[in-house]
Structure 1
Amino acid sequence: MKKLLLLLILSTVGMQANAQFGVRAGANVSNINQFAFANRVGIHLGGYYTYDWKEDVILEAGIYFNQKGYNDQKNTNVSDFFNYISIPVLARYKFLDQFNVFAGPQAHILSSRKRNENGTISKTTMILRGYDLSALAGVGMDLPQGINVQIAYDYGLISINYFDFIVKNRSLQLSVGKRF
């Protein structure tokens, strides 16, 4: 029993040596498909945890505040902003020492919504699904002092049932992060 406990403690310490925490923030340019709406520019920010799984493969999980939707005030006098709590689970493949490509699923939980139509504000979340699932893929670069940058595309996999239409979220993300 003591040997098992010692082995468990040593393996946990070894895993922590290969793990790092970080924070990341950036801009989203998002929209929903099926309509000719203008893009919404929003933000995403949060934290992540990485684990060096193999020599060139890193596993990453995170939690982020993520703004999506569209902003078509110039053409239709309508904007609709969706705020999500997003949880990505990614695999990163490192190459050339400082570059990586990554992909994985991302779950989203709707936290709030704000629709502005000709000055009339609606905050009900009843007109769209309370969750979303997407695929996130992109490329990143590690810089000195634990700084990293990345660009990613967030591709909605399921309909958010927006006013009972079959539409999916789409967004392009540009991020800056810091590992600790």
Structure 2
Amino acid sequence: MKRLFIIALGITAGSLAFRADAQTSQRAANDKMRFGIKAGANLMKMGKVQFGDQLYSTDYRVGFQAGIYADLPMGGNFAFMPEATFTQKGGKLKETVSGNTGEFDSKVSYIDIPVLIGYKASPELTVFAGPQVSFLLDQKSTIKSNGNEIVSSSSKENFEKSIAGAAIGLGYAITPNINVNGRYTMDFQRAFKENVNQDKVKNSGFALSLGYTF
């Protein structure tokens, strides 16, 4: 019995020492200027689209994101965390009226530039928020009726070239190099130009990514 107690005590002490060493390594990493890469998926929608006199709420659309980021200590557990991320946004809609089914699907790609301020609540956990600007890359939108495509467009003419928005979220460092990041983003400005009758179309949604910090 005594031997089992000594073994258990040794395992516990070893686990605590390992955790303390990991936290020390993470604190040391948090004090350095660091850079990284990330990739993941998002769920985005476009708010409400108008067809005729009727407004329809769009559903979430799965997209891809990948980019680079920096983690620049500011002191007092705060950090400046700018990013540049390729992000697929857009939305989809499916409605059935009087036996006829209409479908709308839009995929719009942007380069997002978030300018984030992070607060390190613990060596592993970071809370962040800040403004972002999104720059339009390309888009493809289709409209179908009863499964048949009736309109397809890849023109960017009616889309705003840049949009102001914001992001808020959490980051968790699994190790000093590997982290996961979840956030909510929303645009403050409409996605279409003022001459287009779609003033309720604004991108918003959730993103989850895995990052590697060098």
| TM-score, length-scaled by structure 1 | 0.84
In 1, Cα distance between the equivalents of 2:95 and 2:179?
35
Shift of 1:72: 2.6
1:24 equivalenced with 2:55 (yes/no): no
Structure 2: distance between partners of 1:18 and 1:96: 16
> Take 1:174 and 1:116, find their aligned partners in 2: how far apart are those partners?
27
CA contact (8 A) 1:91 1:103 kept: yes
Q: Match for 1:64: what amino acid?
A: T
Q: Aligned residue for 2:122?
A: 96
What's the counterpart of residue 206 of structure 2? Answer: 172
Match of 1:144 among 175, 193, 196: 175
Q: Does 1:55 align with 2:61?
A: no
Does the CA-based 8 Å contact 1:128-1:164 persist in structure 2? no
Deviation at 1:71, TM superposition (A): 2.4
> Percent of counterpart pairs with the same letter?
28
Tell me the TM-score normalized by structure 2: 0.72
1:70 aligns with 2:91: yes
CA contact (8 A) 1:32 1:69 kept: yes
Q: Which one has a bigger Cα radius of gyration?
A: 2
Q: Deviations over 1:12-41 (max 9, x none)?
A: xxxxx8311100111110011233222110
Paired with 2:187 and 2:131, the residues of 1 have a C-alpha distance of 10
- The answer to whether the aligner puts 1:87 opposite 2:99 as a matched pair is no
Inter-partner Cα distance in structure 2 for 1:77 and 1:114: 14
Stretch of structure 1 that moved more, 85-94 or 46-55: 46-55
Query: Runs of 5+ in structure 1 lacking a partner?
Result: 1-16
RMSD across aligned positions (CA): 1.7
CA distance in 2, matches of 1:78, 1:33: 13
Structure 2 unpaired stretches of 5+: 1-30, 49-55, 97-101
Q: Partners of 1:74 and 1:131 in 2: how far apart?
A: 30
Which residue identity is paired with 1:173? A
